[in-house]
Amino acid sequence: MESSTRTSMIKLVASNYSIWKPMMEDLLYCKDLCDPIELKGTKLDRIRAEEWKNLNTKAVSTIRQ
């Protein structure tokens, strides 16, 4: 059975932030993209700058989708 890489996410509007936020956090954790959000963009010392930029871009892109 093939696993779907696309996850359904509700669209953020002014009235649903309290529902959207934990759903987005769960999605980012499942995709291992939570570090840039948790650390508020502060790069971890153990990660190279290029890898960090890539991880941050992926997290931001996921949120924008």
- In Å, how far are 1, 35, 40 from 16, measured between CA atoms? 34, 24, 23
Does residue 27 sit in helix, strand or coil?
Answer: helix
What digits encode the pLDDT tens for the residues 26-48? 888 988 888 777 777 677 777 78
The pTM of this model reads 0.66
| The predicted structure's pLDDT at residue 3 | 46
Q: Which two three-digit tokens encode residue 18?
A: 């309290």
Among 30, 40, 38, residue whose Cα is nearest residue 9:
30
Sign of CA dihedral 14, 21, 45, 48: negative
